[in-house]
């Protein structure tokens, strides 16, 4: 009992002395300094687990953010390409409508579906046919000029032979000189174009001359842009010049077109001749 009282009184004395005089503060500093390495070593596994979990969490978040950003970037790129495509189509349609208004052309709007499968020809397929009133031989225009001519008609689609096809020939007029000639398709020359044949070596033609439809064939309306002269070869051994022309129409990228009825179909039919009146018979008086 005396020991308990002694130690209790000692403990109470030490607490009061420490509170009043801070006699245990140096001891606590020594003990804390001695135990710091032990505490540091004991906390390393806990910190390693926490840091590892945070690393993997941050990695997953970064990967998710990157995937989200990539998805948004792909969607924005797709929208940007669609906007550019729509802007291009809008510009072409405006030009096509402008050409139609300037020339007072009555025609049927159509869209190019695909190129013809024959690799030896230059033809495309459009989405209009007999059901929509397309006629065989109808001229086809895009926003820049004459694209070709309908050479085959099906119930729902039609085949258009392009101006650069070797089987197509168009009567043209040089807008500078007024001279008429015929432009033939030449798919192999300079990547595809047209050629003025049977033009004398001394013909008045210049690079950059614009060729338009002459309208003398009864198929194409007059004044439609066809091609521009871009290369002239005058050979001494030949009486004819070799004249290459670049088509004005987008023969490799046309999408929206106008199918025009041939000029001969737009001309009103000649009225039927009235029967000539017969001789008037005079009555015989009774």
For 166-213, the pLDDT digits (tens) are 999 999 999 999 899 999 998 876 668 999 988 888 889 999 999 999
pLDDT over 90 percentage in the chain: 28
Task: Judge whether residue 286 has pLDDT over 50.
Answer: no
Poorest-confidence range of 27-31, 85-89, 219-223?
A: 85-89
Poorest-confidence range of 50-54, 179-183, 188-192, 229-233?
A: 188-192
3-state SS class at 234: coil
- Contact present, 150 and 259 (Cβ < 8 Å): yes
- Contact present, 122 and 106 (Cβ < 8 Å): no
pLDDT for residue 95: 65
- Chain-centroid distance of CA 132 in Å reads 26
Residue 80 binned pLDDT confidence (cut-offs 50, 70, 90): low
- Contact present, 251 and 164 (Cβ < 8 Å): yes
Task: Judge whether residue 93 has pLDDT over 70.
Answer: no
pLDDT for residue 92: 65
Residue 252 neighbours by CB under 8 Å, 6+ apart: 192
| Mean pLDDT on 20-47 | 74
Of 197, 200, 177, give the one whose Cα is nearest residue 189: 197
| Mean pLDDT on 96-113 | 71
Task: Judge whether residue 28 has pLDDT over 80.
Answer: no
Where is pLDDT greater, at 205 or 75? Answer: 205
CA geometry: angle at 135 spanning 132 and 137, to 5°?
Answer: 145
φ, ψ for residue 285, nearest 5 deg: -65, 140
Strands (E), 103-237: 107-115, 123-126, 139-141, 146-153, 158-162, 169-174, 180-186, 193-200, 210-213, 225-233
- Contact present, 116 and 125 (Cβ < 8 Å): yes
pLDDT for residue 22: 67
Residue 158 binned pLDDT confidence (cut-offs 50, 70, 90): very high
Cα 175 to Cα 210: distance, rounded to the nearest angstrom: 6
Q: How many CA atoms lie within 13 A of 282 on its CB side?
A: 2
Residue 221 DSSP label: P
Average pLDDT across the chain, whole number: 80
pTM of the prediction?
0.60
Q: Name 141's bridge partners.
A: 146, 258
Which of the residue ranges 80-84, 184-188, 282-286 has the most confident prediction, judged by mean pLDDT? 184-188
pLDDT for residue 184: 93
Task: Judge whether residue 83 has pLDDT over 70.
Answer: no
Residue 82 binned pLDDT confidence (cut-offs 50, 70, 90): low
Cβ neighbours of 125 (radius 10 Å) = 17
| Mean pLDDT on 94-114 | 71
- Contact present, 146 and 166 (Cβ < 8 Å): no
pLDDT for residue 94: 67
| Mean pLDDT on 246-263 | 88
The tens digit of pLDDT for each residue in 3-19 reads 788 778 877 877 777 77
| Mean pLDDT on 79-107 | 62
């Amino acid at each position: 009992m005396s020991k308990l009282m002694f130690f209790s009184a000692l403990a109470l004395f030490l607490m009061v002395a420490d509170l009043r005089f801070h006699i245990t503060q140096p001891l606590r500093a020594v003990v804390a300094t001695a135990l710091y390495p032990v505490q540091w070593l004991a906390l390393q596994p806990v910190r390693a687990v926490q840091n590892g979990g945070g690393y993997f969490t941050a990695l997953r978040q970064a990967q998710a953010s990157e995937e989200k950003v990539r998805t948004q970037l792909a969607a924005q790129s797709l929208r940007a390409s669609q906007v550019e495509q729509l802007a291009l189509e809008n510009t072409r349609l405006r030009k096509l409508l402008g050409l139609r208004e300037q020339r007072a052309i009555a025609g049927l709007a159509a869209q190019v579906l695909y190129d013809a499968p024959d690799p030896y020809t230059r033809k495309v397929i459009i989405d209009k046919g007999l059901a929509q009133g397309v006629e065989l031989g109808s001229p086809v225009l895009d926003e820049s000029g004459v694209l070709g001519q309908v050479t085959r008609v099906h119930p729902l689609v039609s085949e258009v032979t392009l101006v650069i096809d070797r089987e197509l020939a168009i009567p043209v007029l040089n807008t500078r000189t007024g001279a008429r000639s015929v432009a033939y398709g030449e798919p192999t020359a300079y990547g595809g174009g047209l050629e003025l044949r049977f033009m004398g070596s001394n013909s008045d033609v210049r690079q950059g001359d614009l060729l338009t439809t002459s309208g003398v064939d009864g198929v194409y309306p007059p004044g439609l842009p066809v091609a521009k002269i871009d290369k002239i070869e005058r050979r001494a051994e030949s009486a004819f010049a070799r004249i290459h022309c670049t088509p004005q129409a987008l023969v490799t990228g046309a999408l929206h077109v106008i199918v025009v009825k041939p000029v001969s179909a737009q001309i009103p039919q000649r009225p039927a001749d009235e029967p000539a009146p017969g001789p008037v018979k005079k009555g015989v008086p009774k």
